[in-house]
């Protein structure tokens, strides 16, 4: 009976809270809130009946259980107000052992394993009480719902949010409600929502392409993660972030109540008794006078940040609470009214100002310098440079700030102990222009020095990237154009090599603004050219062309022929990306003799190999005449690529060996890695698997050492292909997955699509058809997004083959039909695949028609090119399938006698083996298989 009365009190209390919420909405209360009120009123009525004996407790349990456990689409309908029905009341009435809502939710949200971020914010050192607020917050946090903690600065929003998250995920595993992890982002000093969206995407190891918004929506779709968005009042467009959350839970902290789109929890000051406990925990012996401590807490309105700072101040200075109270009483009480938001906001700056009065002027200057940095950990060196002090002297002042609770230290890193302290330093403390210039110079020199170490240096720069970008922003805002220009030059290569395209765009735009202000047309043109190149890397080809044309006009105006030629080359490459080969050639031709190398690459891409060789050789003559060994080496590499395309592997090997020798002679490691990888590809084509794998591994080591992510990805892909060629599918898959990860991060959507197909083919070879077709579906999505018909056609061809093996014949036939529409060159193989389907389904007439068509098409190709080994082997296979072994054997022998690469023969063996898997009694096929194995 006592438990029932206790439950009744809780229900009535919760009902009052809900009705207070309803009153705030006037006549527009949300339906969900009205349903909660109705549920509570029903529960109260039932409990009252049980108390007076009108119904039994068993009947009460049966009647109230649906109100407790109502679940719709995996989400609890009843939203707890404080303890709510599903909180303590549920335990009192139905018992914790009888009802397990958590278990229901856990089962609903069971998801497959994938990369799971666990970005928990720092936990408050002494989190005091707030059991009711914490319980409500934990109950409100559900997938698909947005909860906003509102209140003035220093009220404890961040501490409450952090405590909730650490309560949900105390170990290194995500909470059951949010199995896809926890993501934390603070808008403080980084208000752009695009950066928030990019942070979300990168947390899952993905790349923010084609736009951060689209990528975030794609990344979060189907996931159940918890997003913590801190300092949302700074966000320039919070609704955009909330709109992509999908089924994820969102916890927002903000000073603005307008940021609350759904559930809002107003965070109140600490109750005075709890504030006293917190003050005495921090102040220790200095706060023994409880009466003085109470008066202090009353004057500062129980503001958690103020309580903590006062306690730390008293403990460090030795000042007693009584002495401190005399000073505090001099401030008008109205300015510390805890219910007046504007006045309460002013209390923290006042308290911080007083705290800074207790530290040395030198320490205040150090805090001012910290305000120039981002809200992130930093070391002593940048501050020492900003102050023009020794490291020892600077560390002493940093230690002084740590002792007063303004900073915290972890190892050799320092950080503002609260965002408001950093905000105060940034907005209220005065810095000199010289201090800012010295800080910019420090990071400029640091970046230049670390970039010399390539990958190792880039890793170190990753730890200070937020500060680099923050200082660049400060310099631009203060119109310190020379510092902005120099810093842009310094960090551009690092951002480019690391594939940080969005940050590079922001940086180059700042550099362009600085160059324009300084009247430096050369730098303006160079930065515009780099920006155009970056847009091309992002796949924004039209924007790239527009920017490159601006750069080209400037270089032409000032007579900077060297940069003009670069722009022409980049424009040519951009038009190749658009498939406008003829226009690309026009730009390369405008580059004159300097464009010969680009023309060679363009004609290689067009398949005009002889013409490609001609232009490349002309370019190499110029390089030899001018002593340009670097470009001569790259010329040999391009020639080698052309000869590989012609199947002249020994000649190709000679070219790549010469490129390798030059690269080692002049120390160009990127060229050395490219040459080793090309030699590996030649060995692979010649069936020399072990040397191929060794070359690729050596190339991979170099590309990783220099931080060349693009070539690292390409070499991993080549290594995977080498493993694939000898049937080592697990190793091939491992390499392909690493390749795919890099291309996804760097935004190379086309390459991403090709390696998804390679993964599909590898799983096909392992007989894991469901996994294989899933990869092909992902590739198809990319192909259609970027409108690449060649990629789409090949993907559908592979997918059709997999669907045939899955016995999904209707889907396979549809795949082959679409493939033929997109790329008629694949029509003969599509006819063969359809023939196999009809043979399998005892439809010999249609099979005969399809296989005859395949043979006719392959014969046409043969008449056009009698040296196309792959087509000759296909023609033989089609003849076997139709039962014409007399035609098949001569074609097999002709292909073998022309000494094709061994990997081509292995592919032919695999195709014939697959045919025999379908028709093992086919004696003629068995004979042809023996012929091929003999050649191997």
3-class SS string, 4-68: HHHHHHHHHHHHHHHHHHHHHCCCCCCHHHHHHHHHHHHHHHHHHHHHCCCCCHHHHHHHHHHHH
Of 73, 71, 89, 92, nearest to 81 (Cα)? 89
- What's the mean pLDDT when you consider all of the chain? 82
Token representation of residue 936: 């191997």
Sorted by sequence, the CB contacts under 8 Å of residue 933 that are 6+ apart come out as 909
In a domain, 754, yes or no: yes
In a domain, 576, yes or no: no
* Domain end marker among 389, 409, 431: 431
Which CATH number is 806's domain given?
1.25.40.10
pLDDT at 286: 84
Of 157, 103, 137, 146, nearest to 247 (Cα)? 146
Whether residue 882 sits in one domain with residue 778: no
pLDDT at 574: 82
**148 SS3 class:** strand
Cα Rg, the chain, nearest whole Å: 35
Across residues 564-570, what is the average pLDDT?
A: 86
pLDDT at 110: 32
| CA-based torsion, 134, 140, 144, 146: positive or negative | negative
Across residues 819-844, what is the average pLDDT?
A: 92
pLDDT at 592: 65
Of 299, 257, 253, 256, nearest to 276 (Cα)? 299
In a domain, 257, yes or no: yes
Residues in a beta bridge with 264: 148
Which range, of 159-168, 648-657, 917-926, averages the lowest pLDDT?
917-926
Between residues 936 and 449, the one the model is more confident about: 449
Between residues 67 and 837, the one the model is more confident about: 837
Token representation of residue 208: 């923010």
Is 779 exposed, middle or buried, given 0-12, 13-18 or 19+ CB atoms closer than 10 A?
A: buried
Helix (H), strand (E) at residue 778: helix 769-785
pLDDT at 408: 80
| CA-based torsion, 458, 459, 462, 468: positive or negative | negative
| Residue found by looking up tokens 């090599």 in the block | 497
**157 SS3 class:** helix
Of 258, 203, 196, nearest to 230 (Cα)? 196
Task: Name the band, by pLDDT with cuts 50, 70 and 90, for residue 330.
Answer: low
- pLDDT, tens digit, 9 for 90 and up, residues 791-812: 999 999 999 999 999 999 999 9
Which CATH number is 342's domain given?
1.10.8
Token representation of residue 117: 């971020």
Angstrom distance (rounded) from CA 255 to CA 258: 9
Between residues 122 and 337, the one the model is more confident about: 122
pLDDT at 531 over 50: yes
Token representation of residue 13: 């209390």
DSSP state of 125: T
Task: Name the band, by pLDDT with cuts 50, 70 and 90, for residue 593.
Answer: low
Angstrom distance (rounded) from CA 184 to CA 118: 9
In a domain, 398, yes or no: yes
**410 SS3 class:** strand
Number of domains in the chain: 6
In a domain, 752, yes or no: yes
Which range, of 791-805, 866-880, 897-911, averages the lowest pLDDT?
897-911
Of 344, 290, 281, nearest to 315 (Cα)? 281
Task: Name the band, by pLDDT with cuts 50, 70 and 90, for residue 582.
Answer: confident
Beta pairing class for 146-150 and 263-266: parallel
pLDDT at 29 over 80: no
Which range, of 125-134, 732-741, 807-816, 895-904, averages the lowest pLDDT?
895-904
In a domain, 489, yes or no: no
pLDDT at 763: 95
The distance between the two most distant Cα atoms of the chain, rounded to a whole number of Å, is 110
Sorted by sequence, the CB contacts under 8 Å of residue 560 that are 6+ apart come out as 522, 525, 554
For residue 13, CA distances in Å to 37, 65, 106, 767 come to: 12, 20, 29, 62
Whether residue 388 sits in one domain with residue 342: no
- pLDDT, tens digit, 9 for 90 and up, residues 250-306: 999 987 766 777 788 888 878 888 889 988 988 888 888 888 899 888 877 777 878
Across residues 676-685, what is the average pLDDT?
A: 91
pLDDT at 320: 86
pLDDT at 282: 85
| Residue found by looking up tokens 């990860």 in the block | 741
Of 567, 556, 495, nearest to 528 (Cα)? 567
Q: What share of the chain is helix, strand, coil (3-state, %, to 5)?
A: 70, 5, 25
- pLDDT, tens digit, 9 for 90 and up, residues 122-145: 888 788 778 888 999 999 999 999
Which CATH number is 426's domain given?
1.10.10.10
pLDDT at 314: 80
DSSP state of 372: T
Whether residue 244 sits in one domain with residue 345: no
Whether residue 171 sits in one domain with residue 101: no
CB 141 within 8 A of CB 251: yes
pLDDT at 670: 76
Task: Name the band, by pLDDT with cuts 50, 70 and 90, for residue 87.
Answer: very low
pLDDT at 68 over 50: no
Which CATH number is 163's domain given?
3.40.50.300
In a domain, 49, yes or no: yes
Whether residue 911 sits in one domain with residue 834: yes
* Domain end marker among 303, 329, 357: 357
CB 208 within 8 A of CB 216: yes
Beta pairing class for 71-72 and 182-186: unpaired
Whether residue 261 sits in one domain with residue 276: no
Whether residue 870 sits in one domain with residue 767: no
Across residues 717-735, what is the average pLDDT?
A: 91
Angstrom distance (rounded) from CA 340 to CA 765: 70
Domain of residue 404, residue span: 363-431
Which range, of 91-100, 366-375, 893-902, averages the lowest pLDDT?
91-100
- pLDDT, tens digit, 9 for 90 and up, residues 399-458: 888 866 678 888 999 998 766 677 778 878 899 999 999 999 999 999 999 988 876 888
Is 318 exposed, middle or buried, given 0-12, 13-18 or 19+ CB atoms closer than 10 A?
A: exposed
Whether residue 208 sits in one domain with residue 333: no
Whether residue 855 sits in one domain with residue 802: no
Which range, of 547-556, 669-678, 753-762, averages the lowest pLDDT?
669-678
pLDDT at 27: 56
CB 721 within 8 A of CB 757: no
**422 SS3 class:** helix
Token representation of residue 805: 């093996």
CB 93 within 8 A of CB 7: yes
Across residues 10-32, what is the average pLDDT?
A: 68
pLDDT at 309: 76
Whether residue 934 sits in one domain with residue 850: yes
Which CATH number is 892's domain given?
1.25.40
Is 428 exposed, middle or buried, given 0-12, 13-18 or 19+ CB atoms closer than 10 A?
A: middle
- pLDDT, tens digit, 9 for 90 and up, residues 195-218: 899 999 989 988 888 999 999 999
Between residues 92 and 434, the one the model is more confident about: 434
CB atoms within 10 A of CB 467: 21
Across residues 855-875, what is the average pLDDT?
A: 85
DSSP state of 260: -
DSSP string, 663-716: HHHHT-HHHHHHHHHHHHHHHHHTT-HHHHHHHHHHHHHHHHHHT-HHHHHHHH
Across residues 849-859, what is the average pLDDT?
A: 91
Which range, of 535-539, 550-554, 630-634, averages the lowest pLDDT?
535-539
Q: What are phi and psi of 2, to 5 degrees?
A: -60, -40
pLDDT at 687: 78
Between residues 182 and 32, the one the model is more confident about: 182
pLDDT at 347: 46
Of 26, 64, 59, nearest to 43 (Cα)? 64
Angstrom distance (rounded) from CA 139 to CA 67: 15
Sorted by sequence, the CB contacts under 8 Å of residue 541 that are 6+ apart come out as 535, 574, 577, 578
pLDDT at 80: 33
In a domain, 669, yes or no: no
Helices (H) and strands (E) in the chain, counts: 46, 9
Whether residue 249 sits in one domain with residue 139: yes
pLDDT at 95 over 50: no
Across residues 877-893, what is the average pLDDT?
A: 83
Whether residue 141 sits in one domain with residue 44: no
Task: Name the band, by pLDDT with cuts 50, 70 and 90, for residue 97.
Answer: very low
Is 58 exposed, middle or buried, given 0-12, 13-18 or 19+ CB atoms closer than 10 A?
A: exposed
pLDDT at 192: 87
Across residues 606-620, what is the average pLDDT?
A: 84
Across residues 56-65, what is the average pLDDT?
A: 61
CB 303 within 8 A of CB 347: yes
3-class secondary structure per residue, 544-602: HHHHHHHHHHHHHHHCCHHHHHHHHHHHHHHHHHCCCHHHHHHHHHHCHHHHHHHHHHH
Angstrom distance (rounded) from CA 104 to CA 211: 37
pLDDT at 336 over 60: no
Which range, of 56-65, 474-483, 524-533, 718-727, averages the lowest pLDDT?
56-65
Helix (H), strand (E) at residue 180: none
Helix (H), strand (E) at residue 373: none
pLDDT at 555 over 60: yes
* Domain end marker among 384, 416, 431: 431
Token representation of residue 848: 């005969």
- pLDDT, tens digit, 9 for 90 and up, residues 463-505: 999 999 999 999 999 999 999 999 999 999 888 766 677 788 9
Angstrom distance (rounded) from CA 218 to CA 396: 49
Between residues 646 and 591, the one the model is more confident about: 646
């Amino acid at each position: 009976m006592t438990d029932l009365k206790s439950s009744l009190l809780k229900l009535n209390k919760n009902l009052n809270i809900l009705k207070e919420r309803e009153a705030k909405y006037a006549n527009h209360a949300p339906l969900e809130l009205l349903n909660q009120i109705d549920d509570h009123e029903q529960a109260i009525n039932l409990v009252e009946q049980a108390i007076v004996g009108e119904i039994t407790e068993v009947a009460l349990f049966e009647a109230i259980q649906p109100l407790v456990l109502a679940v719709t689409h995996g989400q609890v309908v009843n939203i707890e107000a404080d303890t709510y029905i599903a909180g303590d009341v549920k335990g009192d009435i139905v018992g914790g052992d009888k009802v397990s809502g958590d278990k229901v939710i856990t089962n609903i949200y069971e998801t497959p394993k994938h990369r799971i971020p666990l970005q928990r914010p720092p936990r408050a050192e002494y989190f005091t009480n707030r059991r009711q607020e914490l319980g409500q917050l934990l109950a409100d946090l559900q997938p698909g719902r947005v909860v906003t903690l509102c209140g003035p600065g220093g009220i404890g929003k961040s501490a409450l949010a952090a405590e909730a998250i650490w309560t949900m995920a105390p170990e290194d595993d995500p909470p059951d409600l949010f199995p896809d992890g926890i993501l934390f982002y603070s808008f403080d000093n980084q208000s752009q929502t695009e950066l928030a969206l990019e942070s979300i995407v990168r947390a899952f190891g993905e790349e923010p392409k084609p736009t951060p918004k689209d990528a975030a929506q794609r990344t979060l779709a189907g996931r159940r993660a918890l997003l913590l968005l801190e300092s949302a009042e700074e966000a320039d467009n919070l609704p955009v972030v909330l709109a992509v959350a999908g089924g994820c839970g969102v916890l927002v902290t903000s000073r603005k109540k307008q940021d609350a789109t759904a559930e809002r929890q107003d965070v109140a000051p600490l109750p005075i008794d709890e504030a006293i406990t917190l003050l005495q925990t921090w102040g220790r012996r200095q706060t023994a006078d409880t009466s003085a401590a109470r008066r202090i807490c009353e004057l500062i309105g129980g503001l958690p940040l103020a309580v903590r700072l006062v306690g730390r101040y008293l403990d460090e200075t030795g000042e007693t609470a009584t002495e401190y109270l005399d000073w505090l009483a001099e401030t008008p009480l109205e300015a510390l009214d805890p219910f007046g938001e504007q006045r309460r906001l002013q209390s923290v700056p006042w308290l911080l100002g007083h705290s800074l009065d207790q530290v040395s002027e030198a320490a205040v200057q150090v805090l001012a310098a910290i305000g120039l940095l981002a809200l992130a950990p930093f070391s002593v060196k940048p501050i020492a440079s900003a102050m023009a002090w020794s490291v020892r002297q600077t560390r002493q002042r940093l230690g002084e700030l740590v002792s007063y609770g303004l900073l915290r230290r972890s190892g050799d890193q320092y950080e503002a102990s609260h965002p408001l302290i950093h905000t105060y330093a940034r907005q209220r403390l005065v810095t000199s222009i010289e201090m800012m210039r010295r800080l910019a110079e420090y990071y400029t020199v640091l970046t230049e020095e670390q970039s010399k170490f390539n990958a190792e240096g880039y890793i170190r720069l990753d730890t200070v990237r937020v500060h680099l970008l923050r200082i660049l922003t400060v310099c631009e805002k203060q119109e310190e154009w020379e510092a902005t220009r120099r810093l842009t030059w310094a960090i551009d290569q690092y951002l480019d090599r690391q594939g940080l395209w969005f940050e590079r765009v922001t940086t180059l735009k700042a550099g362009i603004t600085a160059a324009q202000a300084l009247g430096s047309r050369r730098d303006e043109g160079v930065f515009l050219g780099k920006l155009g190149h970056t847009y091309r890397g992002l796949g924004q080809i039209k924007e790239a062309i527009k920017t490159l044309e601006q750069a080209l006009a400037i270089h032409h105006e000032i007579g900077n022929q060297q940069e003009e030629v670069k722009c022409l080359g980049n424009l040519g490459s951009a038009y190749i990306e658009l498939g406008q080969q003829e226009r690309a050639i026009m730009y390369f031709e405008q580059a004159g003799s300097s464009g010969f190398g680009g023309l060679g690459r363009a004609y290689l891409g067009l398949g005009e190999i002889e013409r490609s060789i001609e232009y490349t050789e002309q370019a190499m003559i110029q390089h030899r005449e001018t002593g340009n060994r670097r470009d001569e080496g790259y010329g040999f590499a391009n020639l080698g690529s052309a000869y590989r395309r012609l199947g002249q592997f020994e000649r190709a090997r000679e070219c790549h060996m010469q490129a390798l020798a030059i690269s080692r002679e002049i120390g160009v490691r990127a060229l050395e890695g490219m040459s080793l990888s090309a030699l590996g590809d030649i060995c692979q084509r010649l069936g020399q698997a072990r040397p191929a794998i060794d070359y690729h591994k050596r190339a991979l080591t170099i590309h990783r050492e220099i931080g060349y992510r693009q070539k690292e990805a390409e070499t991993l892909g080549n290594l995977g292909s080498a493993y694939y060629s000898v049937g080592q599918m697990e190793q091939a898959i491992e390499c392909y997955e690493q390749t795919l990860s890099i291309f996804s991060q760097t935004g190379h959507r086309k390459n991403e699509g090709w390696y998804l197909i390679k993964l599909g083919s590898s799983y096909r070879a392992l007989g894991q058809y469901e996994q294989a077709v899933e990869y092909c579906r992902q590739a198809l999505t990319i192909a259609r997004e970027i409108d690449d018909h060649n990629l789409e056609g090949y993907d559908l061809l592979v997918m059709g083959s997999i669907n045939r093996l899955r016995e999904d014949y209707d889907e396979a036939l549809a795949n082959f039909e679409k493939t033929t529409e997109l790329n008629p060159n694949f029509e003969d193989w599509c006819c063969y695949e359809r023939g196999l389907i009809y043979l399998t389904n005892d439809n010999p007439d249609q099979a005969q028609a399809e296989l005859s068509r395949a043979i006719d098409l392959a014969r046409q190709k043969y008449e056009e090119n009698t040296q196309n080994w792959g087509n000759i082997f296909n023609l033989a296979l089609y003849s076997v399938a139709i039962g014409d072994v007399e035609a098949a054997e001569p074609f097999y022998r002709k292909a073998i006698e022309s000494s094709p690469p061994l990997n081509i023969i292995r592919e032919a063996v695999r195709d014939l083996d697959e045919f025999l898997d379908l028709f093992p009694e086919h004696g003629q096929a068995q004979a042809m298989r023996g012929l091929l194995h003999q050649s191997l």
